[in-house]
Amino acid sequence: MDRKGQVNVGMLIIIAVTLVVGAIFLQTIAQQVGTSTSTVTLANLTGETLATAGNSIYIEEYRAISGVVIYNATGTLVPAANYTVTNNFIHPTTGALSVKITTGAVSEHAGDAVNISGTAQPLTYIDDSGGRAIAGVIVILFALAIAIVALLPSLRSGIMDLMKR
C-alpha cells in the first residue's frame, strides 16, 4: 500500500496467490481430518482364512475392530469362543500396526475361509478423543486465517470507516 491507502498490483498478486494456495491446502487438510476422525463399517471382509488352532492371522488394513462378527464361507456364524481379537497389535514380521485374530485351541472352524464384520478404525485414525476434536478445530482456524488474508487489504484501506457514515 502506498501513503494514500491504495492497494498496489503487487499486493493483489500476493493476496491472490495466497488465497489459491490456502484454498488448496484447506481442502487437503479437511479431507485428511475426515479420514483421521471417522471409523468405517466393515461388512464381510473377505479373503481371510482363520489360522490353525492356537495360531493367529493379522489384518493390516485396520488398527482396531470392535463388534466383531465372523462367518465362515458357507454363512455359518463362528462362535466368539473360537477366536480372540487383539487390537493395535504390531505384526511380528512386518512391524505394521494391525488387528490380531487368534484361533482358539479347540476350534472346528480352524483353517476356514471367513468373512469378518464390525466397526473398524483405519490406520490413520486418531484414537484420542481430544486429538479428534482438535483436528476439526485446526480446519476451522485455517479457514479463518484465509478469510483474514482476504479481508486485510480492505480493512487497512479504510473502507470500513466509510461505511460508518
**Is the CB of residue 63 less than 8 Å from the CB of residue 97?**
yes
Judged against a pLDDT cut of 80, whether residue 160 lies above it is answered with no
Asked if the structure places residue 16 within a domain, the reply is yes
Structural contact between residues 100 and 85, judged by C-beta atoms closer than 8 angstroms: yes
pLDDT above 70: percentage of residues in the chain? 90
Same domain, 55 and 29: no
For the whole model, what pTM was predicted? 0.71
CA distances from 22 to 29, 31, 37, 164 (A): 10, 14, 22, 31
Domain assignment of residue 3, yes or no: no
What's the pLDDT band for 137 if we cut at 50, 70, 90? Answer: very high
**Three-state secondary structure call for residue 93:** coil
Residue 4 belongs to a domain: no
Least confident of 4-8, 59-63, 86-90, 104-108: 4-8
pLDDT in tens, 14-33: 888 999 999 999 999 988 88
Q: Are residues 144 and 96 in the same domain?
A: no
Residue 1 belongs to some domain of the structure: no
89, 100 contact by CB (below 8 A)? yes
Structural domain count of the chain:
2
Structural domain containing residue 56:
40-122
pLDDT at 143 > cutoff 90: yes
Residue 131 CA, chain-centre distance (Å), reads 12
In the chain, which ranges are continuous DSSP H helix?
A: 9-37, 129-157, 159-163
Confidence of residue 37 (pLDDT cuts 50, 70, 90): confident
Task: Select the more confidently predicted residue: 165 or 20.
Answer: 20
